[in-house]
Amino acid sequence: MRKLSRESWINSVLVLLLALAPLCASLLDEPYYVSLASRVVIIAMAAVGLNLALGFGGLISFGHAAFFGLGGYVAGVAAYHAFDGSYFIGGIPGSDQMPVIWLVAVLVAGLAAAFIGVISLRTQGVYFIMITLAFAQMIYYFAISFPTYGGEDGLSIYVRNSLFSLDTSDPLIFFGICFFSLMLSIFFTRRLMGSRFGAALTMARLNEVRLATSGVEPFPIRLTAFVLSAMITSGAGALFADLNGFVSPSMLSWHHSGELMVIVILGGVGRLFGPVAGAVVFVLLETFIGGFTQHWQFFLGLILLSVVLFANGGLIGLLAGRSRHD
């Protein structure tokens, strides 16, 4: 067997802690902390999606809240129609089945990302950042001005959507679903980055001219990465709506886009488990320091500042050292 690298060790410990924490909380009869762990895991998954574009593809998207929110709204709208038996535009019935919701969420976000990507990926740098932000804001205001689905007040999901015969209202079971999805998205990212597509995406980030000179068009590679990235984030969004039993336009707001970026940068840009480390730190700070003072983001800022200044590879990089390309 191959010797595990230091980074693999750290990743394994991180995952193990993340899996054990809610088990302990459940044994101690503290369902709140189980839900908190689910929150960490879901936000980590959203950041795993962003990391594919931002970290591995070098595409600094400031609009990923759009995909997160779209996933949430798909879950919310589907549950809303399923609950009162009404129909979506064109007579499409609602659904309270998670697999159906996930599939639709991923497709909707994928289409949106394809559209946004075709336009925004023609630009780079600051312009790309601004165009992704602009599209996300457009979707945000669209959601606000849509009274059928709650407008500014958002939409409640009265009964958590179901998955096969599992009792999804049990916090621990719901955590398991989220945890499994997170692991799946990380595994998928890992396979992807080891594949030919991953090699091309890496080259698109490092040296676009070299990629083109090697006979591969950079644009379709980037577009595909952007779409896949949005799909992962939207899956997390659907879970987030189910966790809170609620979706509102705030899920789509640029604050969320910024938070996801902070989490990716905090954890380690382009590190497979970076978003997990980032999400753990982010949500714990938000919850515990946020309990003392509403200015908890001051501390987040301090940590982010030191990570950016002193640890180039984020938290994972700080613990595991520089990343190595073989």
Partner 1 sequence: MTEAVLRIEKLRKSFGALKATDDVTLDLKPGEIHALIGPNGAGKSTLIAQISGGLSPDSGHIYLGQENVTGLSIAARAKRGLGRCFQISSLAMPLSVRRNVMMASQAVTGTSFSFWKQTDRDLEQLEATEKVLARVGLLPRADVPVAELSHGERRQVEVACALALKPKVLLLDEPMAGMGAGGSERLTGFLEELKQEVPILLVEHDMDAVFRLADRISVLVYGQIIAQGSADMIRRDPVVREAYLGTEE
Contacts to partner 1 by CB under 8 A? 191-192, 194-200, 202-203, 206-207, 209-218, 220-221, 224, 325-326
Distance from CA of residue 148 to its chain's centroid?
A: 27
Helices 218-244/196-206 angle, 10° precision: 100
- Other C-beta atoms lying within 10 Å of the C-beta of residue 30: 14
Q: Which amino acid is at 16?
A: L
CA–CA separation, 319 vs 317, rounded Å? Answer: 5
| Closest CB to partner 1 among residues 219, 296 | 219
| Closest CB to partner 1 among residues 86, 123 | 123
Cβ at position 323, least distance to partner 1 in Å: 9
| Span between the terminal Cα atoms of the chain, in Å | 18
DSSP 61: -
CA distances from 163 to 42, 58, 79, 171 (A): 17, 35, 13, 14
| Closest CB to partner 1 among residues 211, 320 | 211
Cβ at position 24, least distance to partner 1 in Å: 36
| Closest CB to partner 1 among residues 190, 295 | 190
Cβ at position 313, least distance to partner 1 in Å: 12
Cβ at position 249, least distance to partner 1 in Å: 34
Rg of the chain over Cα atoms, rounded to whole angstroms, equals: 19
Cβ at position 216, least distance to partner 1 in Å: 5
Cα–Cα nearest to 229, from 100, 122, 106? 106
| Closest CB to partner 1 among residues 228, 236 | 228
